Amino acid sequence: MSNYVTAIGLDVHARSISACAFDPMTGEVSRARFGYDPASVAEWALGFESPKAVYESGPTGFHLCRALRALGVDCAVGAVSKMHRPAADRGRKNDRRDAEWLARLLACRNVVEVWVPDERTEAARDLSRAL
């Protein structure tokens, strides 16, 4: 289990990333929005004390996680099927709110992390799905 201070939630889409950094000790919340550029996300994240980022598994794959790890940011991919959202939040869904929700889940250590395959394994998986 890694020791981190700042939990960063990322709502990732094909062309944009909404980010929210949450420090559970102070309650401070910082938000940012990026194009799909891992370098700018990593630069922003490394400005916080001991950051760890998380985003939901989905069609965007694992590229962002591998890129952030290569740039020095501890990143995880959370199993979306294991994340339980309160019923009251279902009607108020937006990118900013999703990023904050992920950051708060990570701060509570309530994220089930999925295994992040290397590029060759992910390519073989994609090929077998296509066949």
43 neighbors 31 (Cβ within 8 angstroms): no
Does residue 124 lie in a domain region? yes
Number of domains in the chain: 1
CA 35: distance to chain centroid? 15
Per-residue pLDDT tens, the chain, 131 aa: give them: 457 789 999 999 989 999 999 998 888 999 999 999 999 999 999 999 999 999 998 888 889 999 999 999 999 999 987 877 766 666 667 888 899 999 999 999 989 999 998 888 888 877 887 87
Q: For the chain, how far is it from start to end, CA to CA, in angstroms?
A: 38
Q: What is the pLDDT of residue 1?
A: 44
Does residue 1 lie in a domain region? no
Predicted confidence (pLDDT) per residue in 10-20, tens digit: 999 989 999 99
CB contact set of 4 (below 8 Å; sequence gap of 6+): 50, 51, 52, 74
CA 71: distance to chain centroid? 15
Count of CB atoms situated within 10 Å of the CB of 46: 13
Predicted confidence (pLDDT) per residue in 102-118, tens digit: 999 999 998 999 999 88
96: domain CATH number is 3.30.420.40
How far is 102 from 57, CA to CA, in rounded Å? 12
Q: What is the pLDDT of residue 87?
A: 64
Q: What is the pLDDT of residue 4?
A: 76
Does residue 64 lie in a domain region? yes
Pick the closest to residue 112 from 86, 84, 82, 85 (CA basis). 82
Task: Write out the residue range of the structural domain in which residue 40 sits.
Answer: 6-130
